[in-house]
Amino acid sequence: MPGYHVIIQPEAEQDLDEAYQYLEGQKTGLGFELLADLTEIVELLEDNPFLFPTIYGEKRRAVIQRFRYNLIFKIVEENVFILAIMHGSRDPRRWEDRK
Question: What is the DSSP code string of 21-71?
Answer: HHHHHHSTTHHHHHHHHHHHHHHHHHH-GGGSPEEETTEEEEEETTTTEEE
pLDDT of residue 3: 92
Looking at the 3D structure of the chain, how many domains does it have? 1
The reply to whether 9 falls in a domain is yes
Q: What is the pTM of this model?
A: 0.89
The CATH number of the domain holding residue 65 is 3.30.2310.20
The domain of 42 spans: 5-89
Q: List, run by run, the mean pLDDT of 10-residue segments along the chain (99 residues).
A: 90 97 96 97 96 93 95 97 90 65
**Radius of gyration, CA atoms only, the chain:** 13
Q: How many CA atoms lie within 13 A of 32 on its CB side?
A: 3
